């Protein structure tokens, strides 16, 4: 019996050329009985393709929201040949009615415990329309990474925790994985990492260090155990800004091989942070707190990728972009992740923006491919879509090739050579994206929609004119 797992390409995705293993499938593969053959097809690596010649007894699809239209297209190809398709992942879990129309079975939640039942049901010819794996599992299987061997990924993905105690209004993690912060044991994680032959690892946790004292202690224990086990990895991850509250955590992380951390700073003004319900300390202390902690983390040799959101209701043309670049310059941010506020399904932002009639692109499922966080899909009170795109392009100048090169050397000197390398890999994605979309041209770009994005936009609402 053969299971084919497919990670669909998102045609307007920013991250198409950034190669991380889609870890979800490592878990699906691990939960699949051994008498099945499992094959991965990762369109983020290969590009979109035709499936007329792909044989399978079962197809498993995953999708983040912008990948959903492509996932449905792939599903249709297999279903027309009578091959059953199961769709799982965050989009199918959050937009169930829609996803159910495109698959033979929906898999909601996490796969570890219930996936063997689905496979048994396929074998017995009694596949059910819906399975719910929940999001409560305390411990995880060791993922099966042999399926990833066919591709040359830049990072091996691993995960040490699930869930996020924060409650940011734009984020779908809380809605999907829950607010309970579920931590794997140090022994389990170290054993898993020790079995990985590659050096470069990404911990895809949403918030590796968490907020509780127990979470912090687990991190310290994990870092020390990684040193004791002599793992010698270079790794990057996501943390919250409190990671830099003192020297202990960054020092221990660095000793264990940490090269970079991605931090959702979101905004430089406290009013915006309050609107999106960012954590209390960030709201109270804002930019000064950010400055101190970014500096402390970098002093330990760890690079910082700062993620920001443009398009929060409090922002206007004067405040929306300039502060980000100034902050990046002054603090020496090693890489940037500029995003546009996007109502992802299931989030509080989606509910409230939808209730106010502010979501402009609702021709679902096709319009989901615009929910890349690099494209305005809502109207804003103080700024037009075109205005926002103009400001967005100002921020994107951070990624001009000569600047990215200069920043590489600066990070090499001020932080560490490995931090510079991993920050460069991140910035390079954006540079390529900007080159593809013409964001560095001299013409008054993005005043209307950039051509490459416009090709997927059926019409241009007045707000963008
Ligand atoms: C790593 C990561 C990335 C990596 C992608 C790596 C990869 N190839 O998977 C990168 C940086 C490239 C990335 C990019 C983007 N990401 Co991202 N990313 C994440 C992150 C932090 C972890 C994902 C992960 O690996 N989780 C671990 C796995 C094990 O969990 P899982 O995917 O949920 O899988 C479990 C279940 O869902 C289920 N399952 C999943 N698929 C399937 C399939 C079947 C058949 C079955 C049975 C079960 C099943 O079983 C798994 C094990 O239990 C998540 C946050 C999160 N906590 O998920 C955000 C997240 C998924 N990303 C998000 C977004 C928005 C994006 C972007 C669109 C935008 C952006 N600017 O960041 C892009 C575009 C990606 C694209 N392909 O189009 C959102 C998605 C929201 C949504 N509604 O889709 C999230 C949730 C972040 C958030 N704060 O809201 N991302």
Most ligand 1 atoms within 8 A of CB, residue of 204, 336, 344, 370 to mutate: 204
Tell me if 223 CB under 6 Å of ligand 1.
no
pLDDT confidence band for 385 (50 / 70 / 90):
confident
Cis, bond preceding 365 (omega within 30 deg of 0): yes
Facing residues of 289 across strands? none
Least confident of 194-208, 387-401, 451-465: 451-465
**pLDDT score at 386:** 76
Q: Is the pLDDT of residue 387 over 50?
A: yes
Judged against a pLDDT cut of 50, whether residue 452 lies above it is answered with no
Question: How many whole angstroms from 90 Cα to the centroid of ligand 1?
Answer: 7
Q: Of 375, 397, 378, 395, whose CA–CA distance to 448 is shortest?
A: 375
| CB 84 less than 6 A from any atom of ligand 1 | no
On the question of pLDDT at 256 being above 80, the answer is yes
Rounded to an integer, what distance in angstroms lies between the CA atom of residue 122 and that of residue 424? 45
C-alpha 251 to ligand 1 mean position (Å):
29
Residue 272: its pLDDT value, please? 78
| pLDDT of amino acid 14 | 66
SS3 letters for 225-269?
HHHHCCCCCEEEEEECHHHHCCCHHHHHHHHCCEEEEEEEEECCC
Tell which CATH architecture fits domain 2-132.
Answer: 3-Layer(aba) Sandwich (3.40)
The alpha carbon of 349 and the centre of ligand 1 are apart by a number of angstroms equal to 19
Nearest to 122 by CA among 21, 286, 4, 282: 4
Q: Is the pLDDT of residue 444 over 50?
A: no
Residue with tokens 């491919």: 369
CA within 13 Å, CB half, 155: 23
Given a cut of 80, whether residue 253 has pLDDT beyond it is yes
State yes or no: pLDDT of 52 exceeds 90.
yes
Q: For a pLDDT cut of 70, what percent of the chain falls above it?
A: 91
Q: Pairing state of beta strands 161-162 and 182-183?
A: antiparallel
Predicted local confidence at residue 442, as pLDDT: 53
Closest CA to 310 of 380, 367, 397, 369: 380
pLDDT above 80 for 303? yes
Helix axes 213-228, 186-194, angle to 10 degrees: 40
Residue 450 has pLDDT above 50, yes or no: no
Tokens of 32: 């699949």
pLDDT, mean of residues 23-36: 96
Q: What percent of the chain has pLDDT over 90?
A: 66
Task: Output the pLDDT for position 13.
Answer: 65
Tell me the CATH number of domain 154-437, given options 3.80.30.20, 1.25.40.10, 2.70.70.10, 3.40.50.720.
3.80.30.20
Atom index in ligand 1 nearest the CA of residue 8 equals 77
Lowest-pLDDT range of 252-261, 327-336, 377-386:
377-386
With the most atoms of ligand 1 within 8 angstroms of its CB, the residue from 3, 7, 24, 33 to mutate is: 24
Least confident range from 142-151, 236-245, 309-318, 442-451: namely: 442-451
Ligand 1 pocket, residue 111 CB under 6 Å: yes
Q: How far apart are CA 16 and CA 45, in angstroms?
A: 7
Average pLDDT, the chain: 89
Q: How far is the CA of 319 from the centre of ligand 1 (A)?
A: 31
Cβ of 242 below 6 Å from ligand 1: no
Q: Token pair for residue 36?
A: 């099945």
Residue nearest to atom 18 of ligand 1 (CA): 204
Query: pLDDT (tens digit, 9 = 90+) per residue, 203-246?
Result: 999 999 988 899 999 999 999 999 999 999 999 999 999 999 99
Q: Rounded mean pLDDT of 408-415?
A: 97
> Could you tell me whether strands 85-88 and 105-108 are parallel, antiparallel, or unpaired per DSSP bridges?
parallel
pTM of the model: 0.93
Give the distance (Å) from ligand 1 centre to CA of residue 20.
11
Name the closest-CA residue to atom 43, ligand 1: 88
Q: What pLDDT, on the 0 to 100 scale, is given for residue 445?
A: 42
CA 172 / ligand 1 centre spacing (Å)? 10
Mean pLDDT of 44-71: 94
Answer yes or no: is pLDDT of 419 > 70.
Answer: yes
The residue that leads in pLDDT, 126 or 384, is: 126
Which of the residue ranges 270-274, 404-408, 433-437 has the most confident prediction, judged by mean pLDDT?
A: 404-408
Q: Does the Cβ of 172 fall within 6 Å of ligand 1?
A: yes
Looking at ligand 1, which atom is closest to the CA of residue 140? 53
pLDDT at residue number 296:
98
Q: Of 39-53, 208-222, 388-402, 408-422, give the range with the top mean pLDDT.
A: 408-422
Q: Is 301 near ligand 1, meaning CB less than 6 Å away? A: no
Per-residue pLDDT, averaged over 321-346, amounts to 92
Q: How many residues does the chain have?
A: 465
293 lines ligand 1 (CB under 6 A): no
Atom 9, ligand 1: which residue's CA is nearest?
22
Give mean pLDDT, residues 188-203: 96
Q: Is the dihedral of CA 86, 89, 93, 99 positive or negative?
A: negative
Domain ranges of the chain: 2-132, 154-437
Q: Which of 413, 379, 179 is closest to 301 using CA atoms? A: 413
- CA 87 to ligand 1: nearest atom: 45
* Dihedrals phi, psi of 213, to nearest 5 degrees: -65, -35
């Amino acid at each position: 019996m053969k299971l084919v797992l497919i990670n669909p390409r998102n045609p307007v995705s920013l991250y198409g050329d950034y190669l991380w293993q889609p870890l979800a499938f490592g878990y699906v593969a691990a939960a699949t009985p051994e008498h099945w053959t499992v094959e991965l097809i990762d369109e983020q690596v290969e590009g979109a393709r035709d499936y007329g010649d792909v044989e399978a007894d079962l197809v498993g699809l995953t999708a983040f929201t912008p990948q959903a239209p492509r996932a449905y297209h792939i599903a249709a190809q297999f279903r027309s040949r009578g091959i059953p398709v199961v769709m799982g992942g965050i989009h199918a879990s959050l937009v169930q009615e829609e996803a159910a129309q495109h698959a033979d079975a929906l898999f909601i939640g996490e796969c570890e415990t219930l996936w063997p039942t689905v496979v048994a049901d396929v074998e017995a010819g009694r596949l059910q329309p819906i399975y719910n794996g929940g999001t409560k599992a305390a411990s995880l299987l060791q993922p099966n990474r042999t399926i990833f061997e066919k591709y040359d990924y830049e990072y091996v993905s691993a995960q040490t925790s699930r869930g996020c105690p924060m409650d940011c209004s734009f984020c779908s993690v809380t809605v999907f994985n829950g607010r309970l912060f579920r931590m794997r044991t140090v022994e389990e994680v170290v054993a898993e990492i020790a079995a990985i032959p590659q050096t470069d690892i990404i911990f895809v946790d949403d918030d590796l260090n968490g907020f509780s004292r127990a979470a912090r202690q687990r991190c310290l224990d994990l870092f020390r155990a990684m040193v004791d086990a002599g793992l010698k990895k270079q790794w990057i991850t996501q943390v919250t800004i409190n990671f830099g509250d003192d020297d202990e955590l960054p020092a221990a992380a660095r000793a264990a091989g940490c090269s970079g951390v991605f931090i959702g700073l979101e905004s430089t003004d406290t009013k915006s942070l309050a609107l999106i319900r960012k954590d209390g300390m960030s709201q109270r202390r804002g930019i000064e707190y950010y400055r101190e902690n970014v500096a402390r983390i970098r002093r330990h040799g760890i690079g910082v990728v700062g993620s920001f959101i443009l398009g929060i209701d409090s922002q206007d043309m004067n405040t929306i972009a300039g502060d980000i670049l100034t902050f990046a310059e002054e603090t020496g941010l090693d890489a940037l992740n500029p995003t546009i506020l996007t109502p992802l399904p299931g989030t509080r932002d989606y509910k409230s923006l939808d209730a106010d009639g502010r979501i402009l692109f609702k021709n679902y499922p096709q319009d989901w491919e615009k929910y890349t966080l690099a494209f305005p899909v809502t109207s804003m009170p103080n700024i037009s879509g075109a205005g926002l795109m103009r400001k967005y392009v100002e921020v994107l100048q951070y990624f001009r090739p000569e600047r990215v090169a200069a920043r590489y050397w600066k990070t090499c000197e001020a932080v560490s050579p490995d931090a510079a390398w991993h920050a460069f890999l991140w910035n390079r994605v954006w540079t390529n994206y900007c080159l593809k979309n013409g964001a560095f041209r001299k013409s008054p770009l993005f005043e209307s929609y950039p051509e490459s994005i416009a090709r997927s936009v059926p019409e241009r609402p007045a707000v963008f004119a």
